[in-house]
């Protein structure tokens, strides 16, 4: 893997994970009501907008990444995002990582490492 | 509609949006070749019809995902949404004639195995509560 591909890959992981965590913060606002009330409650707080900014950045970075690698390889390397989001959820939202979570993280990380080195 | 069906339908919808989106991204990226850090590249992206398919897929996935995420823990929701790995690899083999090497196939099997382990993990509703508590004032110190 060339240094350029690696850097673009890591940029994607950073903005994707940041976006996912921001969306979780937006969605779990704790206010009553569903439907439009849910969307209004999300729009009042910064998290939804922060998430949208991260995802716009990811839009460009992902396009650059897919210009450099085949689609199937890109989507496999992109699975590293799952590991990053789980770790982020643990650090920021105190979500528990039970032994099954740790097994899943290990399997994905091992698989991504194999694809990355292949 | 019970919650199980709601989630199944939601995740299948999400899977379809994500697959169409990824496919469109690759077609748009191919259309915009050569890759250069210049306005000319952005112009070629903007004039690739497929980029608008990617945008529509993104928007559809976004609305679906946000509706699911209200109650699903972010880890499980995100993992299940990544089963697009399988559909995208199949579509890439079919449309772009991409072939995975033996090592890449082994890696994919591990990744898909990991996603399945995560997405079938018994979800803990305290996840959502802890996130809500963190962001509202009526649960100080939690």
In the predicted structure, residue B85 carries a pLDDT above the cut 70: yes
ipTM: 0.85
In the prediction, which pLDDT does A90 show?
Answer: 93
On average, the pLDDT of chain B sits at 80
Q: List the single residue in B22, B62, B131 with the smallest CB-CB distance to A25.
A: B131
User: Residue A96 pLDDT more than 60?
Assistant: yes
Give me the residue spans of the domains in chain A.
3-117
For chain B, the domains span 3-135
Q: What is the pLDDT of residues B102-142, one digit of tens each?
A: 999 999 999 999 998 887 776 554 444 433 333 333 333 32
User: What does the pLDDT average to over A71-88?
Assistant: 94
Chain B CB contacts of A103 under 8 Å are 114, 117
Cβ–Cβ gap A70/B92 under 8 Å: yes
Cα gap A82→A32, rounded to integer Å: 30
Closest-CA distance, A22 to chain B, in angstroms, reads: 11
Confidence (pLDDT) at B90:
93
Dist. CA B25–CA A65, nearest whole Å: 10
Interface test with A, best of B74, B100, B141 (most A CBs within 10 A): B74
**Confidence (pLDDT) at B6:** 81
């Amino acid at each position: 893997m060339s240094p350029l591909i690696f850097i673009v890959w890591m940029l994607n992981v950073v903005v994707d994970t940041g976006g996912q965590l921001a969306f979780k913060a937006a969605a779990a606002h704790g206010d009553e009501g569903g439907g439009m009330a849910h969307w209004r409650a999300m729009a009042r707080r910064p998290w939804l907008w922060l998430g949208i900014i991260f995802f716009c950045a990811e839009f460009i970075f992902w396009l650059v990444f897919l210009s450099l690698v085949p689609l199937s390889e890109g989507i496999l390397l992109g699975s590293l995002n799952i590991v990053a989001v789980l770790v982020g959820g643990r650090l920021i939202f105190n979500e528990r990582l039970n032994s099954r979570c740790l097994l899943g993280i290990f399997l994905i990380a091992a698989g991504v490492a194999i694809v990355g080195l292949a | 509609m019970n919650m199980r069906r709601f989630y199944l339908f939601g995740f299948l919808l999400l899977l379809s949006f994500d697959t169409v989106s990824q496919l469109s991204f690759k077609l748009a990226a191919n259309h915009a070749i050569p890759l250069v850090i210049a306005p000319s590249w952005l112009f070629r992206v903007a004039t690739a019809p497929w980029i608008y398919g990617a945008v529509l897929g993104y928007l559809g996935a976004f609305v679906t995902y946000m509706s699911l995420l209200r109650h699903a823990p972010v880890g499980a929701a995100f993992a299940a949404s990544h089963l697009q790995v399988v559909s995208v690899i199949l579509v890439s083999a079919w449309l772009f004639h991409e072939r995975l090497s033996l090592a890449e196939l082994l890696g994919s099997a591990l990744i898909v195995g990991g996603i399945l382990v995560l997405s079938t993990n018994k979800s803990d509703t305290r996840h959502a509560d802890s996130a809500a508590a963190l962001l509202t004032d009526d649960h100080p110190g939690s």
